[in-house]
Amino acid sequence: MSILPVTEADLHAYVDGRLPSARKADIEAYLAAHPDDAGRLQDYAAQNAALHALFDPVLEEPVPPRLAAPPPRSWQWQSLAAGLAIAILGGGAGWGLRGVVSQEARLEQDSARLAYKQSVSGLAHQAAIAHVVYSPDVRRPVEIGAEQEGQLVAWLSKRLGSDIRPPRLGKLGYELIGGRLLPGARGPVAQFMYHDRTGQRLTLYVSNEQAHNRDTGFRFTTEGPVNVFYWIDGKFGYALSAGIDKGELARVASAVYEQLEKPA
């Protein structure tokens, strides 16, 4: 008989031809002594063959033109943007913003106002990079998923030292995917990710390190293919990013703002 005990997984691997040849002999010896299992495995092999018989003809069908359509133009942009974000991160510039806001900043004479402006637009820039880096991720777009929202809220609130919770955007067609913790300019910040039914993803970046503590109204900026609405509310900075048009993003931003103002 066999040296290693025969497991259920071994039997399936035998059916699927995934066993090393040395092990195959063990299983064959086992099956010779266990006709019930041998019969069961025959049925499983017949299932595999029947699946091929039933569905392999689909491989031979001509592919409908709508499925083999050329890529939408936007994918080139996303590819560029992702490359750019990686280059910035990889280049050691971290979450810095100097290069991007300097043109606007040079027009400013007052150094205090300059620092303030940098921190405000830096928020949008950091949020846009975080959006571009994480939103295309298929397997790990978030660290904690919406199914564990309680844990997500508790964890982010603890790490940021403030009550942080994701707004509900279901009425606007966006469901929470989950969230993650990110490094901000001085400490941790939070990112919540949502998607609509087409898979369009939207991220809300929340920081509580706005030292200037001065409120702003809504501001809008475009970072490559990403549109960003952002605003400061006391020590909190919020930035909502997505590759959707300004009008729709504004609608979502208003809903987020309202919910944050009037917590449920």
Partner 1 sequence: MRTLPPEAGEQMLACIPRLRRYARALAGDRADADDLVQDTVERGWAQLAAWQPGSDMRAWMFSIMHNVRIDQRRRRNVPTEPLDDETPQPFVPERASAGLELRDLDAALRLLPEEHREILLLVGLEEMRYEDVALTLRIPVGTVMSRLSRAREKLRALMEGRAPVVALKVVK
**Closer CB to partner 1, 48 or 222, in the complex:** 48
Q: Which of 33, 35, 103, 139 binds partner 1 (CB under 8 A)?
A: 139
Q: Which of 29, 83, 102, 183 binds partner 1 (CB under 8 A)?
A: 83
Distance of CA 164 to the CA centre of its chain: 19
Binding letters toward partner 1, positions 43-82, x by CB under 8 A: xx--xx-xxx-xxx-xx-x-xx-xxxx-xx-xx--xx-xx
The span from the CA of 142 to the CA of 144, in Å, is 6
Quickly count: other Cβ atoms within 10 Å of residue 34's Cβ: 14
177: left (phi over 0), alpha (psi -120 to 50) or beta: alpha
Compare residues 50 and 93 and give the one whose CB is closer to partner 1.
Answer: 50
Query: Smaller CB distance to partner 1: residue 22 or 68?
Result: 68
- Selected range binding partner 1 among 152-160, 191-199, 211-219, 251-259, rule: CB under 8 A: 191-199
Q: Does 171 bind partner 1 (CB under 8 A)?
A: no
Q: Nearest distance from residue 58's CB to partner 1, in Å?
A: 4
Q: Toward partner 1, which CB reaches closer, 166 or 237?
A: 166
- Contact region for partner 1 (CB under 8 A) — 39-47, 115-123, 157-165, 252-260? 39-47
The count of residues interacting with partner 1 (CB under 8 A) is 53
Q: Are 101 and 117 in contact (CB under 8 A)?
A: yes
Map the footprint of partner 1 across residues 200-259, applying CB under 8 A: none
Q: Single out the segment in contact with partner 1 by CB under 8 A; choices: 36-44, 110-118, 186-194, 256-264.
A: 36-44
Binding status of residue 148 toward partner 1 by CB under 8 A: no
Q: Does 18 bind partner 1 (CB under 8 A)?
A: yes
Residues at the site binding partner 1, with contacts judged by CB under 8 A: 5-9, 11-13, 16, 18, 34, 37, 40, 43-44, 47-48, 50-52, 54-56, 58-59, 61, 63-64, 66-69, 71-72, 74-75, 78-79, 81-84, 86-87, 136-139, 175, 195, 197-199
